[in-house]
Chain A
């Protein structure tokens, strides 16, 4: 098996079906390849023996064999493809579930840059590419190895020296094919992959910012840069093809060499005519089967790169700074007299960041409180929100209904503290489904009522009711509407404490204010709301304020 780094081994294991599931495909593949070799051997024997003009009876077995092998080759090939795809698909669901299981504990804070949309789509494609591993890497390599060994063994019985030569050429071809191309491809990949990435970045930059670039007359200069980059990429990929093409040419050369050496070794060996002809021609068929190897190795390189990327996004250990449930974490009975939330000198640090994003935050939230968290952009308001719902670990003291949050299971904290994200995710489904998962017992009337509370009643009616779809990633709704749907969802879930991150960022002032009032009114006196907002919140709604810039005293505020 080609080399693999330890990091990707568990990912590849996720992509590999169990031996039992792979066996039918591998067996059928080996039989199909063996039938191809046998077809050539049998027809060569038939013709050479016939030329000696024996009674036709002596040939009947060969005639039957030739037809049977021809049929077997096609049938087994069909079965191989079917069984192989079946096994790969079965594995795909385990693979996807496995990848989700690895990402689940770290989402969203531990995903870092991977949380960006394009990187996520890339991840989804990578996982799909991993499904190629059993189908396009394991199967052809195993099949070729089996048939090569069988053919060498068969030739060994009649002409051991020709068998040794055939084995030698096969081994040489395997070495040149794997080691040689691996080195060539690795060298080229080192040059090509960064160029390709840069080109994609540049093109994306142009397309995303076509308006800015044309408004500022900077388009030509950028296009020039892309053309230059493209020319460099072209030269680099040509160098790689030079190597790859050489490999295919060498495979054809070694196949021919195997035939020539078989001729040299058997011409004077005193073998019978039919046997001699078979020994000389079998290498042709074996090398045709081995022709699948370069493609398998190319697929392997792709699979490996995909596995590397998946391993980078979905690490096997949770990075420091992301909370992990303690083994002894159990939901403790809440203290009915304790405040809903109590923070004392809380600091929050992102994974791989040297400086805490939040420090020295102390605040208490009681039922009925409306706390407004203010501060300039970049002061750590969102980081605090992520820590409150335990997406980020905290230092200091953070009690939820009287119990230290890190002693509770994360799920228990999130039953008390809900978050309405700044950039909410809408699922590609109907409005109803996007609300229902917050409370699956809600009736349509309740859903419409909550939509009315966030000012979407008219819009939903116009869209044709709760069955209207929101599109992939909410593509069919505007930013403000997406935010309102997210608020509706959060209201529906009825969290004792609701943290709302910038609810008015995409809404105009009047509507923003009414949205804030709606949220505050919906919370009532038994619940608390934490508004995170840089826009002013009507003072009569506010019962407490937390100025993050002031809380952050030990550190200079950013520019």
Chain B
């Protein structure tokens, strides 16, 4: 980790403002510290001389003022840090969300959505420590330490030299120990992750373990792996805590050296008492910011690691590795005849990262308006991906055209009503889900959409919780289909694409939904359904087989 990450300054203007404010407060803070030490020295010198309370009182009054000023400045420093932290978090979060929204679903493909959420919400809180503890101390190291060393040098050159010699030892040794332990710490961090995911595996798989009567072995197993980890960890910690040890030792030994050398010169009368005491009080202050930087270094590294993940989201999206239309295919020959419906020509997904391996068999098919077309094929053949490509969520190779015009990544797809494999409902009501994205709610249209999806009796005012709780799987699925129907009706979409719309339905509900889809098609729309259900295949006007070669290969392997 670099002491100050330039990317933070680049991506968050609040961080720049904080550095400026922090520097001003830091200078004021240092001046107050020096004045306070000098006033305290005066007080003690007067009191030791036996001048009595009346003589000391005025100086004590000034000292009290310095104490108050120091507290106020500490408070201001904290406040500025807190403001900066929350503002930087807000800026980074907003930028990352904008980048994700701009990049579309293809951008987060292959990322774990819960992980991205954690990065953008709780994860960024790691920056709090960075701003409230680390960065102010880093600023003070840059501002206060040189000032304090200068004052010490001016008052007592010998002590000044001691401090100047000791100060660099701290970062040098920390870096040396850091190098020595970096690999071990990395290994250790990975082990920690493995340990946590092993624990998650046990907790999440408890039901499965109970079914197989294996639950009683788990405590012993957990204990064994945790203890094995502990043994290795302590070995690593013994070394990595050395950096903290070096830091403490350098700071306290040099204060001790300064104290002893001042003491010996005082005995000889080479140095006035006041100067000696003043330097003794300032010496620890010179080490303080650097000690704090060292102590907060790991917390700060966590903050930067959290920010790193956000920067990764902000990084410009890699240029799509595949062309959306191959040269030669977008020929004049196809521009001439303006074919109605959707045509897939040699569409394939080489290099597209999806959960399962996708057979990169090119798909060529024509989906005509007024027809219900079903895409069938074995699992993993790329049926879902084909629909997602149509919806613009995944880059593809080959060509997809609608009414003779190629469909590009930049098409807003106002002509398409799509529903994915999972219902993906939002908390709200049935009505708010069905009319998602619509400017106003058209009640008759809403009823029609629900009827088309085969769920006319559901109350549109019924509440839906997050993750579609409150509805059964079949209900949620039909509400999601009704959402696509509503969009098709309200926006006059001429293409409706549904992925496994009946997988959670019983025969009766499936039949009702299929009647609705036929009605949509008969109104002149091209209706594309991915399904492996016999009833859907039976209702189809046309069937597109995807990944048949793969299917045959699979059959051969099983035989």
Contact = CB atoms under 8 A, between A and B. Distances in A.
Do A and B interact with each other, yes or no? yes
A475 B353 CA distance: 13
20 contacts: A48-B48, A56-B264, A63-B260, A70-B253, A77-B248, A82-B237, A96-B226, A120-B200, A208-B424, A209-B424, A237-B82, A257-B67, A267-B47, A268-B53, A414-B213, A424-B208, A480-B379, A480-B380, A481-B379, A509-B534
B68 interface: yes
Contact of A437 (B214, B277, B378): B214
B67 A218 contact: no
A121 interface: yes
Contacts of B543: none
A173 B508 CA distance: 72
B399 to A, nearest CB: 21
A412 B413 CA distance: 58
Interface residues of B, number: 149
Contacts of B233: 85, 89
Given A70-B255, A90-B230, A253-B68, A376 B506 contact: yes
The B interface, classified by DSSP as helix, strand, loop or mixed, is: helix
A536 B108 CA distance: 36
A150 interface: no
B244 to A, nearest CB: 7
B48 A216 contact: no
Contact of A376 (B89, B244, B474): B474
A211 B420 contact: yes
Contact of A47 (B93, B222, B276): B276
A275 to B, nearest CB: 10
Contacts of A273: 48
B549 interface: no
Contacts of A74: 245, 248-249, 252-253
Interface in B263-297: 263-264, 266-267, 269, 273, 276-277, 280-281, 284
Interface string A411-451: 10011001101001101110000000110000000000000
Interface string A229-249: 011001001100110111011
B188 to A, nearest CB: 12
A337 interface: no
A315 to B, nearest CB: 15
B304 interface: no
Contacts of A211: 105, 388, 391, 393, 420, 424
A108 B114 contact: no
B23 to A, nearest CB: 18
Contacts of A376: 472, 474, 506, 508-509
Given A74-B249, A425-B208, A250 B71 contact: yes
Contacts of B202: 100
Contacts of A304: none
A525 interface: no
Contact of B79 (A108, A201, A245): A245
Contact of A53 (B48, B70, B266, B424): B266
Given A56-B264, A107-B210, A238-B83, 18 more contacts: A43-B280, A59-B263, A66-B259, A78-B241, A89-B234, A203-B117, A216-B436, A223-B97, A246-B75, A256-B71, A259-B40, A375-B506, A424-B208, A427-B201, A437-B214, A478-B379, A506-B379, A508-B532
Contact of B475 (A97, A100, A559): A559
Given A415-B213, A509-B534, A534-B505, A97 B413 contact: no
Contacts of B444: none
B172 interface: no
Contacts of B105: 210-211, 214
A82 B234 CA distance: 8
A550 interface: no
B151 interface: no
A237 B97 CA distance: 21
Contact of B466 (A94, A103, A205): A205
Contacts of B66: 256
Interface in A445-489: 452, 455, 457-459, 461, 472-473, 475, 477-478, 480-481, 489
B305 interface: no
Contact of A78 (B200, B245, B534): B245
Interface stretch (A7-15, A123-131, A174-182): A123-131
Contacts of B38: none
B262 A47 contact: yes
Contact of B377 (A473, A508, A536): A508
B473 A66 contact: no
A230 B97 CA distance: 12
Nearest to B423: A212
B203 A248 contact: no
B311 interface: no
A390 to B, nearest CB: 9
Contact of A411 (B213, B241, B393): B213
A89 B472 contact: no
B267 A378 contact: no
> Top 10 nearest A-B pairs by Cβ distance?
A458-B557, A256-B67, A378-B472, A508-B532, A241-B82, A245-B78, A377-B474, A216-B437, A43-B259, A93-B226
